[in-house]
Amino acid sequence: MHIWLNLLVALQMLSAVVMIGLVLVQHGKGADMGASFGSGASGSLFGATGSANFLSRSTAVCATVFFVATLALAFISNAGGGQREAGGSILDRAAPALVGASGAASAPAPAASAGPAIPTQ
């Protein structure tokens, strides 16, 4: 199980780094905005960009791999590790510690103070 977890973490990190690199390399939509105000740009101001090129398709594939790896990591971390025996939620596990034998919530015992008691009026 730990081998799959390590492989998924490595795949997720690799896809994240590749996706960051692909996004930084791509040519932005607003890069031709100044040219479209009179420099003879081929496209309109915020018009259609045409078909997707290799970089945008590669970014989409990396994003899909990243999200699938994230979902698989969430599934593996939720399914394993003895968390099912103690309860499904951390709140379910913490609640029985505060409930006494009678079923009513008991207040914690006050700690013994080492210093002098403060008089109350």
DSSP 40-80: --SS-SS----S--HHHHHHHHHHHHHHHHHHHHHHHHHHS
Domain ranges of the chain: 18-25+54-76
Question: Residue 49's pLDDT is what?
Answer: 55
Report pLDDT digits (tens) over 104-119: 555 555 555 566 667 6
Q: How confident is the model at residue 32 (pLDDT cuts 50, 70, 90)?
A: low
Q: What is the mean pLDDT of the chain?
A: 73
Q: Is-above-0.75 flag for pTM?
A: no
Structure tokens at 76: 């593996």
Q: How confident is the model at residue 77 (pLDDT cuts 50, 70, 90)?
A: confident
Question: Residue 47's pLDDT is what?
Answer: 53
